[in-house]
Structure 1
């Protein structure tokens, strides 16, 4: 589809300062120095791929914003001096000006490491791709795969008619449902109560920056620990994030946003919905597995049952911003990106020694703070041999030191018999 989804527009509003700004970042480490010509080829392939697009605003009221191909690129940045701390370097590379409307929407950077290897960062605006989308775009660039054909162009007039008509029909149906259904009225009341709770002053905090840690754990050991506790790899992930937050002093229980991938093909689009899992440090892995199963069975976060989400896409910006600010945010985020394609474990002839994926929050400072409920975010991806856990502390009160965040994660993994290798 050539039109932005509701999720796309939420991330676009965050880009413009209505909430916590977000970019996606993929990271690679190699044991050898990667030839600049290899990275130039990857950069060229990315420029022709799915990340090469931008947002165009409609000329007809009621039409949604649309996608248009874009060739705007940041030049490849290949530093000459070795970087001592790959994670600190990656944090700095995530603070890049990627613009989904005026471009460029992505950036590729690299730097040598003291051991003779190379660190590589690919950043894109969350508006143009989610984590799986970034992985898909990177995999296509590394394998030389031809980009998918652009979606058929739709006119603003036809999209306005479809969108406004759908909102009117579905909205009227949902409103009538409130008249005749006590269940629908209860759903709406619960939705409004939850939304009001999310906006309570004591549920949000102001952040002026982030800290992060990245750790590798053997796949076999991770899976064995999860199975021994009656859980899954994802249960162990949620349990670890909960334990790290608890050790840092975050109030419990922890309300966790869990993205669920809804894509049916290898697209870069933000194809996900958000559900909520509420976990406590005392929950076993089997408890968390059950809580997760129950959460996935519930309707995802979003508009009240029956009401079309597209209504926020045709409202004036000011109203839509107020309605969607903080959408999907809870105390923590646990995003399991899953198994990465084998193509991401090498860069041409160079074998990678680590791959990580995460979301970051550029532009935060004392002069440009952001208000959010999120205190800690976790991201998990895996290859055949390694699970990579990326943690991003968003609350300065509880996560003000990247060394402490790393040490807390190492300690919680050790309690479960897992040896961590920090990046």
Structure 2
């Protein structure tokens, strides 16, 4: 029914969300060097990226209910060399670059910037549309570019099909897929019940209703990153009877409690994890499955055995839950834009105020060699563009954490927003610092 360059249903859903809402989800990679970088090598890596998996963009189907396709996009956005800043300006520069537009259809799909840092070294950052690639995929693209691995995905150039040819082919494929759509309709009720919120918030827990004039005001969610010595992190996890993953989950639950994201009756905090299932030669942009599980934050600073058991159980039960959700994916091309625009992308149990957690685990150090040699600091984080105060991503608050093990450090990047509060970076860092202290951890804070 489909061709090799047909978007997966999840990727088409991501594209529809961008077009319906105007909001863009992106992946940001950051590097910090305590020296000057090799700009020639960075330019070579930049040019190689354009010939890899990010060298593509979405070409929408003109047939109603049709499947969108990938087309080649080898345009070089260029390496942006910024004016030097001092060391304390690195984090602000990363945030500024995170808001520089990317677009999965019209481009640029990605962009790369370099910041000389006075009396310190250099910062580098890469931003790519999440509709075109996920975090694991983007790290893989950089590794390929750094090591000189080239691909020929065979994507056609934009506009390779005539309008008549495109309509005919897409109509034929759409009609062939109707039995799949019929089966998806039969699964809607069970999936709706599966994702039904477990509670409704009372008036005291609901975010304040904003005046109409305030709802469309631009919002930039505060972010922060901490780096913890990997030996210290692993030692603390072992002391608490857990693993690295369990300590991260416990930390997320404790921080979630601070941000008012616990269940009003049970006190449990729901953690929502995207689980990567990317395989070799996988051309999906978002090779992800979702799982969620609830953690009691009360005792996690003393004992992580319960958290460890909850993660194991979630990995088992999550497979079945996601398989059920996949049954409705064929409906994606038929969802009206008016409906899509009112839903947060990938929301599962959103009324339970989950804490988003992306755990990358051990990251191949090759990805840190953007200039040919290993950086001192590296992170992966999710960013969002074009948000307003009434955007579904933040209208009920947001707490999202990304972690990884690389360069001898455990990094955690945070995004946090609560309607009606100050939402400053200092406010976020205070909560993070106090939570680190509860776990007996020390960190370098970006």
Q: TM-score range by the shorter chain?
A: 0.7 to 0.9
1:25 offset after TM fit, Å?
A: 0.1
Of 42-51 and 284-293, more deviation after overlay is shown by 284-293
Moved more, 126-135 or 220-229: 220-229
TM-score of the superposed pair, with normalisation by structure 1 = 0.86
1:277 and 2:293 are equivalent in the alignment: yes
Q: 1:387, CA displacement in angstroms?
A: 0.8
Deviation at 1:274, TM superposition (A): 1.1
| Count of aligned residue pairs for this structure pair | 414
Matched, 1:210 2:229: no
* 1:219 is aligned to 2:230: yes
Note if contact 2:70-2:155 (Cα within 8 Å) is conserved in structure 1.
Answer: no
Name stretches of at least 5 consecutive residues in structure 1 with no aligned partner: 179-183
**Residues 45-60 of structure 1: pairs in structure 2 closer than 5 A:** 45-60=48-63
Q: Cα 1:209–1:80, aligned 2, differ >3 Å: closer, same or farther?
A: closer
Shift of 1:213: 0.9
2:426 corresponds to: 403
Partner of 1:288: 307
Give CA-to-partner distance per residue, 1:81-112, whole Å, 9 cap, x none.
Answer: 22432111101100011110011100101101
| Aligned match of 2:399 | 376
Give yes or no for contact 1:204–1:371 (8 Å, CA) kept in 2.
Answer: no
Indicate if the aligned counterparts of 1:4 and 1:64 stay in contact, CA closer than 8 A: yes
Cα RMSD (Å): 3.4
State the 1:332 CA deviation.
Answer: 1.6
CA distance, structure 2, for counterparts of residue 292 and residue 158 of structure 1? 45
| Superposed CA offset, 1:31-57 (max 9, x none) | 111133222212211122211111001
Summarize the alignment of residues 105-254 of structure 1 with structure 2, pairs less than 5 Å apart. Answer: 105-150=109-154, 161=172, 164-169=175-180, 171-172=182-183, 175=186, 187-188=190-191, 190-191=193-194, 193-194=196-197, 208-252=219-263, 253-254=268-269
> 1:291: how far off?
1.8
Kept after mapping to 1: 8 A contact 2:26/2:127: yes
Q: Aligned to 1:81, what secondary structure does the other structure show? A: coil
Alpha-carbon distance between aligned partners in 2 of 1:350 and 1:304, rounded to the nearest angstrom:
44
Q: Whole-Å Cα distance in 2 between the matches of residues 94 and 58 of structure 1?
A: 29
What is the alpha-carbon distance in structure 2 between the residues aligned to residue 394 and residue 12 of structure 1? 24
Which 5+ residue runs of structure 2 have no aligned equivalent?
209-214
**In the alignment, what sits opposite 1:344?**
367
Match of 2:21 in 1: 18
Residue equivalent to 1:70: 73
* Cα distance in 2 for residues equivalent to 1:125 and 1:50: 12
8 Å contact 1:336–1:381 — kept in the other structure?
yes
Alpha-carbon distance in 2 for matches of 1:335, 1:188: 23
Contact 1:19–1:371 at 8 Å: present in 2 too?
no
Residue 195 of structure 1 and its aligned partner are, at CA, apart by: 9.7
Match of 2:334 in 1: 314
CA distance 1:278–1:203, shift in 2 (3 Å): farther
Between stretches 236-245 and 119-128, larger displacement belongs to: 236-245
